[in-house]
Structure 1
Amino acid sequence: MGFILQILSQILFFFEKSGYLGVFFLMALESTLVPIPSEIIIPPAAYLAYKGSLSLTGVILSGVLGSLAGSLFNYFIALKIGRPVIVYFIKKYGKFFLITEKAFYKVENFWDNHGHISTFVGRLLPGFRHVISIPAGFAKMNLYLFSFFTTLGAGIWCCFLAFCGYFFGKNEMLLKEYLHKGSFGLIIFCVILIAFYIKFKLKK
């Protein structure tokens, strides 16, 4: 417990010094493959907003913009470097792994048709939000659509974390409880959304 409190105090000190730029920077790292959970970034910053050092709106905006920046970094790395490497690998060695160019282009076609819902839902799910921009880059998803649905998903996630930190940041037990309940609620929301999406597509 003392170790956790020490880390939390260091994060709070960091945000007191760096402000919104610090939130932006850490959330940008969180949206790449750097293992920094957003649960230890946004809530402490929102708690400072509760104390009056920052504004809640500023914390949310800097968090969302940071998430978008990190996601775009992954997207362009996958698009400019990862895609040519993957295509070359499949052409040369795919037969040894039972992977064909046709299968790769099927995945690409899937992303053309369902990339928007995949990107949006991926931003809300633990474990997926860090990597969802990589397949989008591989599949050359439309940049504007990618940015829109990334921002939408990141906005919902950052708002949730910020409200938790703002209202429950001074009580660690309550904060953990509502972060857990809220994360579980978002997973249920994603499952329901996907079910409706599939039903709509089948009916269409």
Structure 2
Amino acid sequence: MTDWIIDLVDTMGYMGIIFLMFLENLFPPIPSEVIMPLAGFGAADGKYGLVFVIIAGLAGTLAGALFWYALARRIGDERLRRWADRHGRWITLSGADIRKMENWFCRHGNWAVPLAHLVPGLRTLISIPAGVFAMPPVRFVLLSAVGAGVWTSALAVAGYLLGEGFEGVEKYLGPISTAIMAALLLYYLWRVIRFRPGEGA
């Protein structure tokens, strides 16, 4: 996958960064830990401007976040609660659980959204409750931009400073990201197995 990312960024430049970061938010196994350090290295090598690399990464991230936000907003909390009461096992939530989640998100969403953008997997998932529970779009974009801006900037700057050693970023962060993704998957499977209709998870 790394070779494909390198080829795409070399071919498409800033648009390749936007496209890849968009995909990273739709399909988390595509690693931003490779995309942004690679682009940062390109800036150090004179191919791109570092500021424009960061802007491109942020634009792609926000586009992916808005995709899930818009989809979840269209579904809405009432429809999701009805679906959960019938098929809750597959989202490991009952209608009552969703009401509790809504109360939690309304209280803590202002810090949960930017913080989640620093955690692999969660940066995609956080857009769903934001959309379902109708967080105002402007607030969602601004909060997402804060978290995503920190993440993409840190990775791009790391690649810029490391130069040809940019792959070292993925070497250290890659296993951590993989472990987090595996933990989220195992946690989901555990909730599916122990879910009881009418009782939540």
The reply on whether 1:53 has 2:41 as its aligned counterpart is no
Give 1:66 shift. Answer: 0.8
Change (3 A) 1:114 1:28: same
Between 1 and 2, higher relative CO (CA 8 Å, sep ≥ 6) is seen in: 2
TM-score when normalising by structure 2: 0.75
Give 1:13 shift. Answer: 3.0
Alignment partner, residue 63 of structure 2:
69
TM-score when normalising by structure 1: 0.74
Q: State the SS of the aligned residue for 2:164.
A: coil
Q: Distance in 1 between matches of 2:36 and 2:68?
A: 21
The reply on whether 1:88 has 2:82 as its aligned counterpart is yes
- Which consecutive residues of structure 2, in runs of 5 or more, have no partner in the other structure? 178-201
Instruction: Give the AA of the match of 2:107.
Output: N
Alignment partner, residue 129 of structure 2:
135
Larger-gyration structure (1/2): 1
Q: Distance in 1 between matches of 2:50 and 2:11?
A: 17
- Alpha-carbon contact 1:42-1:158 (below 8 Å) kept: yes
Q: Distance in 2 between matches of 1:50 and 1:19?
A: 14
The reply on whether 1:164 has 2:158 as its aligned counterpart is yes
Change (3 A) 1:44 1:98: closer
Alignment partner, residue 144 of structure 1:
138
Change (3 A) 1:164 1:102: same
Give 1:174 shift. Answer: 4.4
Instruction: Give the AA of the match of 1:161.
Output: L
Q: State the SS of the aligned residue for 1:130.
A: helix
The reply on whether 1:15 has 2:9 as its aligned counterpart is yes
RMSD of the alignment, in Å?
3.0
Give 1:87 shift. Answer: 2.2
- Which consecutive residues of structure 1, in runs of 5 or more, have no partner in the other structure? 185-204
Change (3 A) 1:159 1:100: closer
Q: Distance in 2 between matches of 1:13 and 1:48?
A: 12
Q: Which runs of 4+ in 1 moved over 6 A?
A: none
Identity of aligned residues (%): 35
Alignment partner, residue 33 of structure 2:
39
Q: State the SS of the aligned residue for 2:26.
A: coil
> Matched residue pairs, number?
176
Q: State the SS of the aligned residue for 1:53.
A: coil
Q: Distance in 1 between matches of 2:28 and 2:165?
A: 28
Change (3 A) 1:126 1:98: closer
- Alpha-carbon contact 1:111-1:141 (below 8 Å) kept: no
Alignment partner, residue 192 of structure 1:
none
Give 1:148 shift. Answer: 0.8
- Alpha-carbon contact 1:169-1:175 (below 8 Å) kept: no
